[in-house]
Amino acid sequence: MPRWLANLPRTIVALVVLPITLFCVSSGALLQSAFGRPRQRNVQWAYRIFSYCFVRIAGGRLLTNGVDKAAADLPYVVVSNHESNLDPFALMMTLPQLKIRFVIKRQIMLIPVFGHALRATGNVTVTRRGSGDVKRLRETLEARDPEVSLLFFAEGTRSRDGSFRPFKKGAFATAIAEGLPILPVALAGTYASLPPAAGALLKNTIAVEVGDPIPTRGMTAADRMPLLELCQKRVGELRAQARARVRAAGDHPGGQD
């Protein structure tokens, strides 16, 4: 039996349950924001509920390592590789002690209810054309809850072939400007679980490796490229470890080594 056919019930459940869950948690977060309660700290329940549902419906084991390297009382610029739409939710499940927000494409922010909830709870809109993105990042960071971390998929967008691609500069310019430590993380197995254009959610082990934080306080713009290179090296190493753990669990991580 083809793998996609064996996983068809899982895909159907996802197509039914996830949109309903997303609408409900987005509506709840918007209502909570409308009544003037702190918008970022007190809406973590919405992110956690949807992340839990998505990862559990995906059905594979979630293997994590190094979670205790992220301190609950500190904000970070979280830098990760990006292989599928499962990635942000697997990271939310892995790092429940952090209040993570995302750098999100403008098209997603335009989705009714969902996009409005993302904007209201402290996520950053980018156009990927440089038109005001840096300014929006700075304004969001200035207005954020002091405990909120910002997640960057530093490759720019998810990989279409599962390869590991060069990092872009935005995460590192942001970390240096705000004096925030970088938390390097890497995922494996999400590409095999939700490949681009596959049309099915496939059960597969997912592994997440968390690295040691990289301090940036005292760095200047001249340190941006060395910081990028160091972080890309560390995320690449963590990715290799995550892929090895998926294989050790009897699954294939998908994509390319």
- Nearest CA to 186 out of 243, 150, 239 is that of 239
Residue 133: its pLDDT value, please?
60
- CB contact at 8 A, 191 and 82: no
Residue 145: its pLDDT value, please?
74
Compute the distance between CA of residue 24 and CA of residue 47 in angstroms, rounded to an integer: 11
For the full predicted model, state whether its pTM sits above 0.95. Answer: no
Instruction: Using the structure block, give the residue that is written with the tokens 């209810």.
Output: 113
Kindly list the structural domains of the chain, giving each domain's residue range(s) and its CATH number in brackets, ordered by start.
3-248 (3.40.1130)
- CB contact at 8 A, 251 and 205: yes
Residue 126: its pLDDT value, please?
73
Compute the distance between CA of residue 37 and CA of residue 186 in angstroms, rounded to an integer: 34
Low-confidence ranges of the chain (pLDDT < 70): 1, 36-41, 127-144, 198
The enclosing H or E element of 74 equals none
Residue 122: its pLDDT value, please?
82
Residue 136: its pLDDT value, please?
64
Compute the distance between CA of residue 199 and CA of residue 46 in angstroms, rounded to an integer: 26
Q: 141-180: per-residue pLDDT in tens? A: 666 677 889 999 999 888 888 999 999 998 999 899 889 9
| DSSP strand pairing (206-210 vs 182-188) | antiparallel
Compute the distance between CA of residue 5 and CA of residue 118 in angstroms, rounded to an integer: 34
Compute the distance between CA of residue 172 and CA of residue 133 in angstroms, rounded to an integer: 14
Residue 140: its pLDDT value, please?
63
- Nearest CA to 185 out of 84, 115, 46, 90 is that of 90
Residue 127: its pLDDT value, please?
67
Q: Crossing angle for the helix pair 44-58 and 8-34, nearest 10 degrees?
A: 180
